[in-house]
Amino acid sequence: MSKSTEAIGTLDYFVLDVFTKTRLTGNPLAVVLNPGNLTTELMQAIARETNLSETAFVERREPRVEQREGVRVRIFTTEEELPFAGHPTLGTASLLRSIAPECVLANTVTLALNVGAVPVRFDVQEPDAPAWPVRGEMTQKDPTFGQELDHAEVAALTGFAVEDFAPGRPIQVVSTGTAFAIVPLRSAAGLTKLRVRQQESAAYLKARGARWFYVLGPEDPIDPTASGSPAELAWRARLQFSGGEDPATGSAAGCAISYLVKHGVVASDQTVHLRQGVEMQRPSHIFLRANRNVASKEIRVTDVRVGGSTILVAKGQLFLP
For residue 127, the model assigns a pLDDT of 77
Compute φ and ψ for 70, nearest 5 degrees. Answer: 105, 170
Alpha-carbon span 106 to 100, nearest angstrom: 14
* Local confidence band at 294 (pLDDT 50, 70, 90 cut-offs): confident
pTM: 0.94
Residue 192 burial (CB < 10 Å; 0-12/13-18/19+)?
A: exposed
* Local confidence band at 298 (pLDDT 50, 70, 90 cut-offs): confident
- CATH entry 3.10.310.10 includes domain 144-308: yes
3 state SS of 299: strand
Q: At what angle do helices 151-158 and 198-206 cross, to 10 degrees?
A: 150
Mean pLDDT of the chain: 93
First to last CA, the chain: 8
For residue 222, the model assigns a pLDDT of 53
**Segments making up each domain of the chain, as ranges:** 3-139+309-319, 144-308
* Candidates 3.40.605.10, 3.40.50.1370, 3.30.70.120, 3.10.310.10; CATH matching 3-139+309-319: 3.10.310.10
- Would residue 145 be called left, alpha or beta, if left means φ above 0 and alpha means ψ between -120 and 50 degrees? beta
Contact (CB, 8 A) for 286 and 306 = yes
Neighbours of 144 (CB within 10 A): 15
Model confidence at 5: pLDDT above 50: no
* Local confidence band at 223 (pLDDT 50, 70, 90 cut-offs): low
Q: Do domains 3-139+309-319 and 144-308 have the same CATH topology?
A: yes
pLDDT 10s digits, 36-57: 889 999 999 999 999 999 999 9
